[in-house]
Chains A and B, each alone.
Chain A
Amino acid sequence: MRVLWANIEDVWREAAARWTLIAYFFLSTIFIIIFASAINLDIVDGALAGAKLFGKQVEMRGNEMSIEKLVLGFESGFSAVLYFLCTFLSIFATAHLVPRLQEKGTIDLYLSRPVSRTRLLLSRYFAGLLLAGSNVLYLLGSIWLIVMWKTHVVHPRFLLAGVVIFFVIATLLAFAFLVGVVTSSTAVSIMASCGMFLFSGMLVAHDRMAAAVSHEWQAAVIQTLYWIIPKTAELGAAVFAFVSANSFGTKIDLSPTPFLTTAAFGLASLTLAIWRFHKKEF
């Protein structure tokens, strides 16, 4: 536990000293402020008489739109935006953790302590997750509270989005750790993690892509890649489905497969990172 605390303290102090923490929460705060000032609701006798989003009147279609439904719409839409925002901010804020640790003159100081390499790397991983998780909590929690304050509608499902977002961040952080251990480069870790997020999003159309290629082996590669790498598009859709409870338009299939295969990818990345870190000579 002392090793974990030491790493948490180190990671947070570094984030604070290098302005990462400030930038991280500053950007999140700007988003929260924009969100808070964008919603203007006109509530008369507990009923929604009118609503403006970014200064634009929201169509009420007579009395069809209840305030609950409007909140559901706001939160569902914003949860998708938050999915991207939280994930990218987290990658930028934590991708340096392993490359910085592996710098010559620094790694010796850490590895000369009576701590196994597995414990050191895992402690750093959890310290990074705590940093990213706190930002997710800050962003989603603040928006949830603002909505509650402005509408008096309590919609706890919105917080479910945080769980899925945190899960995706944990997976990508494991991948960033693997890339960091192998390359010792923060830039490559950031590029690889962002690339993985975007590329796996593209692979949601794997069936159409496989059908469009000219060779069978190419189709097999596309299908294999789809099953191996995280399902960021499906998980993004799951965020929306969780928050909206599938109340809008097409129903989103909430199958456990994207969660299971993404978790497997994250675990495999972390295991490989630990294995490589063990083998590495400094």
Chain B
Amino acid sequence: MTDSLIEVRALRKEYRSGIGKPPITALDGIDFTVREGELFGLLGPNGAGKTTTVKIILGLTAATNGTAFVGGLPVGNPESRRRTGYLPEGHKIPGYLTARQAMTIFGRMSGMSTNDIKLRIPELLDKVRLPQWIDVRVKKFSKGMTQRLGLACALVHRPNVLLLDEPTDGVDPVGRREIRDLLREEARNGTAVLLNSHLLSEIELTCDRVAVLRNGKVAAEGTIDELTRRTAKYKMVAAPVDESLVAMFRENGAGVERVNGHLVLSVNDIAHLNTLVDGLRSRGGMLSELAPVRSTLEDVFVDLVKADAGQEGHPQ
């Protein structure tokens, strides 16, 4: 392990479902690493095992099999959480505390000195746009403000690993952008960020690399670019386009869709595409545009999830 701050190896988690009933597999041997300074997204439909993964990394739940390390330490060791910040989904920072009190308590629990906490609180509340709310009780905060305070609490002890479960939930678009900027800044400073979200656009805009979980397994992993280039689709603008041309393409094994006057071709590879172009030219057709069609992360996600549609989910 060189610069991996989170390392998950063959992680498996089974939940008991009652006496005499078979256990439910939430995680079925997943592997991934998150490196220093990397923004890593964990995607998956409800029940895919995202939250279970994060909870194992934090030691909130024990793995049935496999190992996970944070900063080189096994996750069972409380010291592995010394430099880990966590923002749980639907967290409940006690409403009776003010922002200052909440950050002081969580800072102390992370081993910070009173002086260090005093310096850190205004700095962080400035970053999450809550400086004027420092002495207001959390119960008066809106959902978005609570979320931003949660992020400040997760960052209070200067972690080098950040685990965030739906961090932009309830946050307005401006706030979302600010959180993204903040996460990027943390990553630039060397923090490994693991982002768990079902907001695909957020992941696409924020993360360097993602893993898609499906039924407790990693169904796909890579950079956003790698994942969205997986399908070989091309937009073709040509003339003349008639039924005989479409039929010829189909006879050659290509998928053809007519979209707004142009064609979208699904091909096996570049050679296959060139065959189709040759066929067009041999019929006297003129090619005016040929460009790869990039899938969105949502397309990739939906395709992966659809592949297993109908299977039961797992508890989070």
Contacts and interface: CB of A to CB of B under 8 A. Distances in A.
Interface of A: 2-3, 5-6, 9-10, 13-14, 16-18, 103-116, 281-282
Given A114-B82, A116-B78, A10 B94 contact: yes
B58 interface: yes
A112 B96 contact: no
Contacts of A5: 108
Interface residues of B, number: 36
A10 B61 contact: no
B93 A114 contact: no
A10 B60 CA distance: 21
B96 A2 contact: no
Given A13-B101, A115-B78, A282-B55, A110 B109 contact: yes
**Interface on chain A toward B: helix, strand, loop, or mixed SS?**
helix
A6 B109 contact: yes
Contact of A108 (B84, B88, B108, B137): B88
B94 A112 contact: no
Nearest to A15: B96
Interface string B261-302: 000000000000000000000000000000000000000000
Contacts of A113: 81, 106, 109-110
Contact of A6 (B58, B62, B79, B108): B108
Nearest to B13: A281
Contacts of A10: 94, 97, 105
A109 B88 contact: yes
Nearest to B154: A112
A2 B108 contact: yes
Contacts of B105: 6, 9-10
Contacts of B108: 2-3, 5-6, 9
B86 A108 contact: yes
A110 B62 CA distance: 17
B82 A112 contact: no
B232 interface: no
B129 interface: no
Contacts of B94: 10, 13-14, 106
B58 A114 contact: no
Contacts of A6: 104-106, 108-109
B153 interface: yes
Contacts of B78: 114-116
B256 interface: no
Contacts of B113: 2
B111 A112 contact: no
Contacts of A107: 60
B246 interface: no
Contacts of B93: 109
Shortest Cβ-Cβ A-B pairs, 7 listed: A17-B96, A112-B86, A6-B108, A105-B92, A108-B88, A113-B109, A114-B82
19 contacts: A2-B113, A3-B109, A6-B104, A6-B106, A9-B108, A10-B97, A13-B94, A17-B96, A104-B90, A108-B88, A109-B86, A109-B93, A109-B153, A111-B59, A111-B60, A113-B109, A114-B79, A114-B80, A281-B60
Nearest to B94: A14
Nearest to A282: B60
A140 to B, nearest CB: 29
A21 B104 CA distance: 21
Interface in B82-124: 82, 84-86, 88, 90-97, 101, 104-106, 108-113
B92 A112 contact: no
Nearest to A3: B109
A88 B302 CA distance: 58
Given A111-B58, A112-B60, A115-B109, A105 B90 contact: yes
B109 A2 contact: yes
B144 to A, nearest CB: 16
